[in-house]
Amino acid sequence: VRQRIDHLTSDTIIYGRRLFLHYADLEDSTTIRRHLYRIRPDEFYHLAGQTHVGASFEIPESTCQFAAMGTLRLLELLRDCEPVPKFLHVSSSEIFGNPTDSPQNENTPFRPISPYGAAKAFATDMVRIYRDSFGLFACNAICYNHESPRRGESFVTRKITRAAARISRGQQSELVLGNLSGRRDWGFAPDYVTAFRQMLKNQVANDFVLSTGVMHQVRDWLDIAFEAVGLDWTKYVKQDERFQRRSDSQNLVGDSSFAQTVLGWSPQTSFSDMVHAMVAADLEC
């Protein structure tokens, strides 16, 4: 995963001047405590954990160890800091599972349907509890899917843009997927990172849904990505049981009007621009 920041660690103007890396493990409190006491951060952004929903059915224990217990461990460590850093936990729309309300907002009940969603629901509640009970400036960014050229290759979005680029160059002959009707509210990750910073700059700690409010299907990714490289995806895509989920949320679409009103935030990048940006990056690889 370190390779995703290679461009920063190899930049001598940034690395060692504005960016410093410290090794730690979410299961190792002693090391994290030592870093916290030495660095004394003003802000703490927590994005760590096993984030793949499909994989969470295969490795539920370690998923919960990191996403659920890891978050609680951080909250406990932060509570002992003087002063206590502002804390942002990147939560997930998966906490809503198969919701009856659509779109979902900050008051929608949690009904997770995957080990990952259950772990994130626990972590999200803990952040609220530590805010309300111990007065921590702790926030949940309840993020719907957020994509970028740095997205892991096992997620459907990057799998598609990468395959479109590779097939167009003759490096791959087919693309095997699961449910093509899979629906998500997909946004552009850099837009969401802008919101994270705004959340911790806000006067009051709170939870915010970050989403585009628009649902698309896996098919839409195929249409735009393959059209960008001048190919017809129906000639290359196959479906296989292997990539079907045991349960798969279909009604996840977020209402980010609270973030719009309080933070003045709204997503800036269109769905089509995001897919094109990812295909362009994969063509350069």
Active-site hit among 45, 56, 91, 92: 92
Closer to ligand GDP at the Cβ: 66 or 137? 66
Side chain identity at residue 87, one-letter code: F
How far is it, in rounded angstroms, from Cα 51 to Cα 119? 10
**CB distance 89 to 46 below 8 Å:** yes
The question of whether 133 is a catalytic residue gets the answer: no
Residue 225, interface with ligand GDP (CB under 6 A)? no
Active-site hit among 91, 93, 94, 114: 94
Residue 156, interface with ligand GDP (CB under 6 A)? yes
**Near ligand GDP in 195-224, by CB under 6 A:** 218
Residue 177, interface with ligand GDP (CB under 6 A)? yes
Tell me which of 71, 91, 108, 157 binds ligand GDP, using CB under 6 A: 157
Beta carbon of residue 50, minimum distance to ligand GDP (angstroms, whole number): 11
The question of whether 116 is a catalytic residue gets the answer: yes
**b vs e for 66-102, b when ≥16 Cβ sit within 10 Å of the residue's Cβ?**
bbbbbbbbbbebbeebeebbbbbbbbbbbbbbebeee
Active-site hit among 116, 130, 144, 192: 116
Q: Which residues contact 40 (CB under 8 A, 6 or more apart)?
A: 81, 85
Side chain identity at residue 158, one-letter code: R
Q: Which two tokens stand for residue 44?
A: 């703490």
Residue 182, interface with ligand GDP (CB under 6 A)? yes
Closest-CA residue to 115 (of 52, 71, 183): 52
Among the listed ranges 130-138, 175-183, 196-204, 258-266, the one in contact with ligand GDP (CB under 6 A) is 175-183
Active-site positions? 92, 94, 116
Site residues, ligand GDP (CB under 6 A): 53-54, 145, 154-157, 159, 177-179, 182, 184, 218, 243, 245, 248
